[in-house]
Structure 1
Amino acid sequence: MKRTGILNRHLAGALAELGHGHEVLVCDAGMPIPDGPRVVDLAFRAGVPAFAEVLEGLLAELVVEGATAAEEVRRANPQAAKLLDGRFPALDLVPHERLKELSAGARLVVRTGEARPYANVLLRCGVFF
């Protein structure tokens, strides 16, 4: 049994398969999930687990070279906007409809139980060297 890090076997396995340039969508419970990407659904109840908690756990395990979020997050969910701005100084912002289109190219979707709007981010994997 793993001692630390992500213990969910489906999520840990999916993360181990990611490579440079692959994208991971971390999304709230209401984000439409496109056909195609592998999905690890962590949603349990409204708000559980929270977007921030899942994002922080993923960032502890992944090398991320870029991130994209919906521009609507600034107005509709200032708490998520603050988290994203703090973690990604060069955060790309696009209209929410465009983020949904981009998410179709994700290799992995991690659905949280977040119940606040626009708590979604598309992470682009980097390399550790």
Structure 2
Amino acid sequence: MGHTDLVMVCDAGLPIPEGPAVVDLAFRAGVPSFADVLDGLLEELEVEGATAAREVRDVNAAASGLLDRHFSELELVPHEELKSRTHLARLVVRTGEASPYANVLLRCGVPF
């Protein structure tokens, strides 16, 4: 992924628009988890920013905590806005996650 390219890491329920390339990892409910996929991607990608749904704070403590551990500055927007930004992604990685608002839009950086 190049500098400023967007990667959406999403739960099994997020609608994916036509346009971005899709890697659909969803095998069954919960497999693979949002946490496992996000952790793996962050080991491979240089990420300079991230955006998630504001609603994650009130509804999904596990996903909210995971995002806070990974991103010191996390942009929070309404869920509908996050969904609308999905079409801007170069890549969507769909997990098997079956909990609400387990989605994050990653903005790639450069390693130098």
TM-score normalised by the chain length of structure 1? 0.86
C-alpha separation in 2, matches of 1:122 and 1:96 = 12
Instruction: Flag as ranges the 4+ runs of structure 1 deviating above 6 A.
Output: none
1:48 aligns with 2:40: no
1:76 partner amino acid: V
Q: Pairwise mapping of residues 2-13 of structure 1 onto structure 2 (< 5 A)?
A: none
Letter in 2 for 1:102: R
Determine if the alignment matches structure 1 residue 77 to structure 2 residue 56: no
1:94 equivalenced with 2:94 (yes/no): no
Based on CA coordinates, which of the two structures has the bigger radius of gyration? 1
Aligned residue in 2 for 1:36: 19
Deviation of the 1:34 alpha carbon: 1.1
Deviation at 1:117, TM superposition (A): 0.4
Decide which of 23, 27, 30 is 2:6's aligned counterpart.
23
Q: Distance in 2 between matches of 1:34 and 1:118?
A: 17
Question: Distance between the aligned counterparts of 2:109 and 2:86, measured in 1?
Answer: 17
Percent identity among equivalent residues? 71
Aligned to 1:8: none
* Matched AA of 1:30: G
1:59 aligned to 2:42?
yes
Distance, in Å, in 2 between the alignment partners of 1:103 and 1:68 is 11
- Output the amino acid matched with 1:83: L
Q: Using CA pairs below 8 Å that are at least 6 residues apart, which structure has the higher relative contact order?
A: 2
Distance across 1 between alignment mates of 2:54 and 2:88: 19
Structure with the higher strand share, 1 or 2:
2
Q: CA RMSD in A?
A: 0.4
Q: How many Å separate the matches in 2 of 1:46 and 1:65?
A: 30
The structural deviation recorded for 1:60 is 0.2
String of CA shifts for 1:23-46, please: whole Å, max 9, x gaps.
000000000001100000000000
Normalised by the length of structure 2, the TM-score is 0.99
Q: 2 CA distance for matches of 1:29 and 1:109?
A: 11
Instruction: Supply the distance in 2 between the matched residues of 1:46 and 1:75 (Cα, whole angstroms).
Output: 22
